[in-house]
A and B are shown apart, each in its own frame.
Chain A
Amino acid sequence: MSEQQYEKYYVPAQSPWPFVGAVALFLIAVGAGNFVIESTKGKDGYGGWILVAGLAVLLFMLVGWFRDQIEESMTGMHSSQLGRSYRQGMSWFIFSEVMFFAAFFGALFYARMIAVPWLGGSSNNAMTNEVLWPGFEAMWPLVKTPDGTTTEAMGWYGLPLINTVILLISSVTAHFAHVALEEGKRKQLTLFLGLTILLGVGFLILQVEEYVHAYREMGLMLTSGVYGNTFFMLTGFHGLHVTLGTILLIVMFFRVLKGHFNKDNQFAFQAASWYWHFVDVVWVLLFFFVYIL
């Protein structure tokens, strides 16, 4: 085989952004650590400010890094091999996110199918219930914990159902946007992408609404025992991911307006839409395991 058949793989020159990114993470970790201590233990310090500084540096780094990246992409320095690298990288990143959620789903299943029944005396734990938690009854949702905290279970109809529909539709519009991009229909692309963003924002608003309802009217809180814990941690991390996904889509929206992306050059767009679909799939699982079952 001759060399000519191989495009040159683009190895970027030196770049300050990764190091800036590492500094950002450093500030975020120090800041968040101190902020958590200060805010929960009533101490004072600069944790919050360091955290904010870290986030600012992170933002600065992302903007700079992506600007370089976009420029390279627009000036045609990327080969199709590099495109594959990006796509594979993104897929594995999403896989790692799947495993992150798996940890919390695992905690949910464990609490529900093992810990709570054992506290109620099943399996080899008859004495646990008899001696330590007399009178405690295993149930799910756990609306009364062993130490007697009570709460209410969140139903699946109403807001959660509406949210499910919203996210499912948004997955479809995201897909249409992609099809439009492939076919070079810029108007439709803008329209569907915009729609997807609106749906995402709508989802987030309703999610906040639901949380307010849970805290104010139902007494369902993060601290309401393991039901509340798993409920808020799972939906909360999901919400965080939707937020991130929405931001990604918004960035894509502006790039589309600027005329970026075409059939052959659309990695960033694809990555954002994969991320969006992933977030949707997680929600479907959530809806099923957290709300319905």
Chain B
Amino acid sequence: MSTAAEHLHHDEHHDHKPSGIKRWLYTTNHKDIGTLYLWFAFIMFLIGGAMAMVIRAELFQPGLQLVDPNFFNQMTTVHGLIMVFGAVMPAFTGLANWMVPLMIGAPDMALPRMNNWSFWILPFAFLILLSSLFLEGGGPNFGWTFYAPLSTTYSNDSTALFVFSVHIMGASSIMGAINVIVTIFNMRAPGMTWMKMPLFVWTWLITAFLLIAVMPVLAGAVTMVLTDKFFGTSFFNAAGGGDPVLFQHIFWFFGHPEVYIMILPAFGIISQIVPTFSRKPLFGYASMVYATASIALLSFIVWAHHMFTTGMPVAAELFFMFATMLISVPTGVKVFNWVATMWRGAISFEIPMLFALAFIVLFTIGGFSGLMLAITPVDFQYHDTYFVVAHFHYVLVTGAVFSIMAAVYYWLPKWCGKMYDLTLAKWHFWCSLISVNVLFFPMHFVGLAGMPRRIPDYSLQFADFNKWVSIGGFAFGLSQLIFLALLIKACRKQGEAATDQVWEGAEGLEWEIPSPAPYHTFETPPVVK
């Protein structure tokens, strides 16, 4: 990993940078740390994806073929955890590290040493999580949502390791978020007023706030799981006056904002890319900001839509249904604004734009299924089926992950100073686009037809579609190898040199510095007019 990343920074400029392994271990440079985060996230994506391949291979046909059910559950659980905490969140943090200082004209992140600490915690945390899979009895097998009492009384001992690894992951996220917030509050170049900030910066600011608000709640939830399992408390045990559903309330109070943590930066990225390739300013900048803020605020009062079947009183069900539906309004505003930005622009279809366009369509489809899930009486039918799995993969894979890919294609020339291999990029896009739909679209059908999630085997009526889903899955997985090849090539500095502006329609401070971005930038702040 470090050699590949090292090349990314091969010195072409005169600025001084440390070399060797110490450069990466001891770094305080936001670009280095951003690079570390991004490579870490990508490796986690491959590992989590490999687990998804195990899931899809087992589900290729009815019957148990490859893995036993207990191991299957571990795959599902760790796949979910790795993708959420190991791939998507660190990738966004990596982008923030690279781009936020460049976009607001700051010399670095506000707290550079803490920045390095928050990164290096992550590889260790995931080392613990992954190695627990090899212990006797295996790793976590209770779903990424670790509902009690399956995760307490009925789980295996490695739960203790799971709990502590989540604790330190949480610490990392909180420190990362504090850094982003403080950087944005305190490090803006003169003239960079709030309402001039690029949307990526805005969305990250709000995301960071969400992170600081909910990661500690997750820490509380895992702590209670730990004491319930090992120290005889009964937070989630009716016999002692607790309630298993209490766990779900605490988890989802974290969990729902968490899913917006994984989409708000994506909205920011799309809001940077669409105007560039439409050669037209973003439509409704102010309403984008307000919409982001409203989504974030609403996200605190909708958590129980994951719990409609737990038997809440009907008044609570109604409240959470209405509040959840309401989120469609600000999200709709965003979608409409993007379309309006394109309207009467001069659109061209470079790779980042292709991913952004795919994002808009496919995320919206995922949003629609989200809205359907919000309708409580119908959610009774959808809940815990593959319809839900389809929903969240549309918003997460064709949403969050596609936006990350769009961002990488958008800023990669700025990072390494070379244009990447366009043929590979095109192959990557088209193969991904088509296979991802073969992968996730039929999940809607099997879900509606009644296939529950988290099962290693299913009845015969679901066989046809599952076969297609698995084929789509393998194809999508292989398509990511194209991406890997492209990135390695780009880091080896092959390809033609990129201009400073890189894209014809690109605007913003990050495009005014040289490509590749020098090791230290904006040591004296630029002045934004």
Binding site for B on A (CB under 8 A): 1, 3, 6, 8-9, 11-19, 21-23, 25-26, 28-30, 32-34, 36-37, 40-41, 65, 81, 84-86, 88-89, 92-93, 95-97, 99-100, 102-104, 106-107, 110-111, 114-116, 118-119, 123-124, 132-133, 142, 145-147, 149, 222-223, 225-229, 233
The secondary structure that dominates the B interface is helix
A271 to chain B, nearest CB (A): 13
A122 to chain B, nearest CB (A): 10
Question: Taking A29-B168, A93-B178, A229-B227 as contacts, is the C-beta distance between A114 and B28 under 8 angstroms?
Answer: no
Pick the contact of B233 from A11, A18, A116, A233 — CB < 8 Å? A233
Contacts of B187 in A (CB 8 A): 9, 81, 85
B286 to chain A, nearest CB (A): 25
Q: Are A229 and B168 in contact (CB under 8 A)?
A: no
Q: Are B186 and A14 in contact (CB under 8 A)?
A: no
Q: Are A115 and B246 in contact (CB under 8 A)?
A: yes
Q: Does B503 sit at the interface, judged by CB under 8 A?
A: no
Q: Does B214 sit at the interface, judged by CB under 8 A?
A: yes
Q: Are A115 and B241 in contact (CB under 8 A)?
A: yes
Cα(A95)–Cα(B178), bound, Å: 10
Cα(A132)–Cα(B241), bound, Å: 13
B527 to chain A, nearest CB (A): 6
Q: Are B242 and A15 in contact (CB under 8 A)?
A: no
A169 to chain B, nearest CB (A): 29
Cα(A26)–Cα(B216), bound, Å: 19
Per-position binary interface string of chain B over residues 158-170, scored 1 when its CB falls under 8 Å from any chain A CB and 0 otherwise: 0011011101100
Q: Are B186 and A99 in contact (CB under 8 A)?
A: no
Nearest B residue to A149 via CB reads: B240
Contacts of A8 in B (CB 8 A): 523-524
Nearest A residue to B244 via CB reads: A115
Q: Are A21 and B212 in contact (CB under 8 A)?
A: no
Cα(A107)–Cα(B253), bound, Å: 12
- Give 22 CB contacts A-B under 8 Å: A1-B527, A18-B116, A18-B117, A25-B124, A29-B125, A29-B164, A29-B165, A36-B226, A85-B110, A88-B182, A88-B186, A96-B216, A99-B215, A106-B249, A107-B246, A110-B246, A124-B311, A124-B314, A222-B227, A225-B240, A229-B234, A233-B224
Pick the contact of A14 from B27, B230, B249, B311 — CB < 8 Å? B27
The residues in B between 62 and 76 inclusive whose CB is less than 8 angstroms from any CB of A are none
Contacts of A9 in B (CB 8 A): 106-108, 187
Q: Are A226 and B242 in contact (CB under 8 A)?
A: yes
Q: Are A229 and B242 in contact (CB under 8 A)?
A: yes
Nearest A residue to B524 via CB reads: A3
**Among listed B17-25, B193-201, B328-336, B352-360, interface-contacting one:** B17-25
Question: Taking A11-B108, A15-B113, A22-B124 as contacts, is the C-beta distance between A100 and B168 under 8 angstroms?
Answer: no
Contacts of B524 in A (CB 8 A): 3, 6, 8
Q: Does B377 sit at the interface, judged by CB under 8 A?
A: no
Nearest A residue to B123 via CB reads: A22
Binding site for A on B (CB under 8 A): 18, 22-23, 25-28, 106-108, 110-117, 120-121, 124-125, 127-128, 157, 160-161, 163-165, 167-168, 171, 174, 177-179, 181-182, 185-187, 190, 212-217, 219-221, 223-224, 226-227, 230-235, 238-243, 246, 249-250, 253, 311, 313-314, 520, 523-525, 527
Question: Taking A96-B212, A106-B250, A115-B243 as contacts, is the C-beta distance between A146 and B26 under 8 angstroms?
Answer: no
Cα(A123)–Cα(B523), bound, Å: 62
Q: Are A12 and B25 in contact (CB under 8 A)?
A: no
Contacts of B223 in A (CB 8 A): 233
Pick the contact of A223 from B161, B174, B215, B231 — CB < 8 Å? B231
The secondary structure that dominates the A interface is helix
Cα(A146)–Cα(B239), bound, Å: 5
Contacts of B234 in A (CB 8 A): 145, 223, 225-226, 229
B33 to chain A, nearest CB (A): 10
Pick the contact of B26 from A15, A23, A123 — CB < 8 Å? A15
Nearest A residue to B164 via CB reads: A29
Nearest B residue to A98 via CB reads: B216
Cα(A9)–Cα(B106), bound, Å: 9
Nearest B residue to A19 via CB reads: B25
B318 to chain A, nearest CB (A): 14
Q: Are A111 and B235 in contact (CB under 8 A)?
A: yes
Contacts of B220 in A (CB 8 A): 100, 102-104, 107
Cα(A15)–Cα(B113), bound, Å: 7
Cα(A88)–Cα(B180), bound, Å: 11
Q: Are B233 and A222 in contact (CB under 8 A)?
A: yes
Q: Are B190 and A1 in contact (CB under 8 A)?
A: yes
Q: Are A226 and B232 in contact (CB under 8 A)?
A: no
Q: Are B219 and A33 in contact (CB under 8 A)?
A: no
Q: Are A81 and B186 in contact (CB under 8 A)?
A: yes
B162 to chain A, nearest CB (A): 8
- Knowing that A88-B110, A118-B243 touch, tell me 16 more A-B residue pairs with CB under 8 angstroms: A6-B190, A14-B23, A26-B124, A29-B164, A89-B110, A93-B178, A95-B213, A96-B174, A102-B217, A103-B253, A116-B241, A119-B238, A119-B241, A147-B239, A223-B231, A225-B242
Q: Are B241 and A16 in contact (CB under 8 A)?
A: no
Nearest A residue to B171 via CB reads: A25
Contacts of B181 in A (CB 8 A): 88, 92
Q: Are B120 and A17 in contact (CB under 8 A)?
A: no
Question: Taking A118-B243, A229-B242 as contacts, is the C-beta distance between A33 and B160 under 8 angstroms?
Answer: yes
Cα(A103)–Cα(B177), bound, Å: 19
Question: Taking A19-B116, A41-B157, A104-B220 as contacts, is the C-beta distance between A223 and B233 under 8 angstroms?
Answer: yes
Contacts of A1 in B (CB 8 A): 190, 527
Cα(A37)–Cα(B158), bound, Å: 8
B176 to chain A, nearest CB (A): 12
Cα(A37)–Cα(B216), bound, Å: 24
Contacts of B241 in A (CB 8 A): 111, 115-116, 119, 142, 145-146, 225-227
Cα(A130)–Cα(B311), bound, Å: 17
A64 to chain B, nearest CB (A): 11
Cα(A245)–Cα(B117), bound, Å: 22
Residue from B28, B167, B190, B239 having most chain A Cβ neighbours under 10 A = B239
Pick the contact of B120 from A22, A88, A107 — CB < 8 Å? A22
Q: Are A29 and B167 in contact (CB under 8 A)?
A: yes
Pick the contact of A18 from B22, B114, B171, B239 — CB < 8 Å? B114
Nearest B residue to A1 via CB reads: B190
Contacts of B174 in A (CB 8 A): 93, 96
Cα(A229)–Cα(B243), bound, Å: 13
Contacts of A40 in B (CB 8 A): 230-231
Nearest A residue to B166 via CB reads: A29
Q: Are B233 and A88 in contact (CB under 8 A)?
A: no
A117 to chain B, nearest CB (A): 10
Nearest B residue to A132 via CB reads: B238
Q: Are B216 and A99 in contact (CB under 8 A)?
A: yes
Nearest A residue to B26 via CB reads: A14
Cα(A92)–Cα(B211), bound, Å: 11
Contacts of A86 in B (CB 8 A): 111
Contacts of A93 in B (CB 8 A): 174, 178
Q: Are B182 and A92 in contact (CB under 8 A)?
A: yes
